[in-house]
Amino acid sequence: MEISRPYLLFLGDVPDALAAKTGLGIVDWRRDWCVGQWRLPGCKADAKLPEMNAAEGADAGAKTMIVGVVNAGGKLPEHWISSIEDALAAGMDVAAGLHQRLADIPRIAEAAKKHGRKLLDVRRSTENFETGKGTKRPGLRLLTVGTDCSVGKKYTALALEAGMQAAGLDARFCATGQTGVFISGRGAAIDAVVADFISGAAEWLSPATEPATWQLVEGQGSLFHPSFAGVSLGLLHGAQPDAFVVCHEPTRTNMRGVAHPLPTIAEVIEATIAMGKLTNPAIRPVGIAINTAALAETDALETLEAAAAKHDLPATDPVRFGVDPIVKRIMTEFPS
């Protein structure tokens, strides 16, 4: 799948920034690929890009409009269809990471055909995945895991890629979600893979490599989330990680979208080791990534210090303070 650049990001009328995390993630890591954002009245997310509609985006050079949102169930709201029709009429392709295929919506399919444009659904992989085999393969792998969904697993993996490369390590980001695929140009949306093939898809994403090469696998969901634990477990078994980093948001009490309480970092470490041993008996934690965006700097630093002391692991906010402490631990635990 080739997605033509640059992008116009469509944010619709989402209620908060988390609902627009696909678009915001693209801006954070590929700002130079984006010409503007299109927001409908009532939108509560802001990517800090120039405001423009379909015609203005096309005039600015946009080749593809990205539907930069996520929602429960992955369905396209009906009142967004006319905006997508406008983008196609303006001469842009349209790409989305929703579970619902753009081409399955008659009005959109007809508009794409009429204007000769492409509809790109990154959650629909063209690969035919095998079932996972669990056989140990060469190379090193790190998986980001979470106490919840939307706590920074993708950002942590991307920050580690940059930090490890800067330290001279051979490290590569492996995308397992739609935003990561938009950012990296390769990957598979694990949550759209048929359940029997999730671990096999993870093996495909992080294949055998040179012994010192690190593949940094973007985590999904949480082993404790009643909605997404199945995806998280399949990814854990297929990624076969040598190391993992626990990602956490300290102000939450319940997991996102459900009534279940947030697990502790210690519980996530214990469960990840217990379940990960199936395909890699040597699995171990190498750090904690805490999203401190909701905390003042003094409180953030105190939170990180407390977590590091409690778990005897380096703790940092990858966006706010960088990943050097975790990179140093990785280099100590896995000397080349």
Residues 109 and 153 in one domain: no
CATH number at residue 289: 3.40.50.300
Domain hosting 271: range is 140-333
Kindly tell me the burial class for residue 48, based on how many C-beta atoms sit within 10 Å of its own C-beta (0-12, 13-18, 19 or more).
exposed
Average pLDDT rounded to a whole number, residues 304-315: 98
Same domain flag for 92 and 187: no
In a shared domain, residues 70 and 115: yes
83 pLDDT above the threshold of 80: yes
Question: Are 178 and 292 in the same domain?
Answer: yes
Judge whether 132 lies within some domain.
Answer: no
Q: Average pLDDT, whole number, for the chain?
A: 95
Residue of 124, 128, 145 whose CA lies nearest to 234:
145
Q: Is the pLDDT of residue 23 over 80?
A: yes
Residues 111 and 43 grouped into a single domain: yes
Cα 221 from Cα 177, distance rounded (Å): 11
Do 157 and 231 share a domain, yes or no?
yes
Q: Residue 73 has which token pair?
A: 């169930």
The predicted-structure confidence for 118-147, as pLDDT tens digits, reads as follows 999 988 777 889 999 999 999 999 999 999
The 3-state DSSP class for residue 48 equals coil
In a domain, 186, yes or no: yes
Domain with 12 in it: what CATH number? Answer: 3.40.50.720
pLDDT confidence tier of residue 73, bands split at 50, 70 and 90: confident
Confidence of residue 186 (pLDDT cuts 50, 70, 90): confident
Helix 21-30 to helix 153-166 angle, to the nearest 10 degrees?
Answer: 10
Q: How many domains does one find in the chain?
A: 2
pLDDT of residue 336: 77
Reading the block at residue 254, the tokens are 């319940």
User: Residue 65 falls within a domain, yes or no?
Assistant: yes
User: Quick one: pLDDT at residue 1?
Assistant: 60
Angle at 280 between CA 275 and CA 284, to 5 degrees: 75
Q: Which residue has the higher pLDDT, 222 or 189?
A: 222
pLDDT of residue 126: 73
CB atoms within 10 A of CB 107: 12
Mean pLDDT of 172-200: 90
| 7 vs 27: CA distance, rounded Å | 10
The whole-number pLDDT of residue 16 equals: 93
> Residue 166: CA atoms inside 13 Å, Cβ hemisphere, count?
11
Q: Are residues 190 and 291 in the same domain?
A: yes
Band of residue 52 on the pLDDT scale cut at 50, 70, 90: very high
Same domain for 61 and 197, yes or no, is no
* 328 domain residue, yes or no: yes
Domain membership of residue 130 (yes or no) is: no
Q: How far does CA 80 lie from the centroid of its chain?
A: 23
Q: What is the pLDDT of residue 18?
A: 86
Asked whether residue 128 is domain-assigned, the answer is no
pLDDT in tens, 187-213: 888 988 999 999 999 999 999 999 999
pLDDT band at 75 (very low <50, low <70, confident <90, very high): confident
Residue type, 195: A
Question: Looking at the domain assignment, is residue 1 inside a domain?
Answer: no
Question: Is there a domain that residue 2 lies in?
Answer: no
Do 94 and 165 lie in one domain? The reply is: no
| Same-domain pairing of 71 and 184 | no
Where does residue 261 rank: exposed (0-12), middle (13-18), buried (19+ CB within 10 A)? exposed
The mean pLDDT of 71-87, rounded to a whole number, is 90
Q: What is the mean pLDDT of residues 263-281?
A: 98
Residues 254 and 261: their CA atoms lie apart, in Å, by 4
Average pLDDT over residues 232-256: 97
Give the containing element (helix H, strand E) for 235. helix 229-239
Q: Give the domain-ending residue among 121, 148, 167.
A: 121
Helix, strand, coil share of the chain (percent; to 5): 40, 15, 45
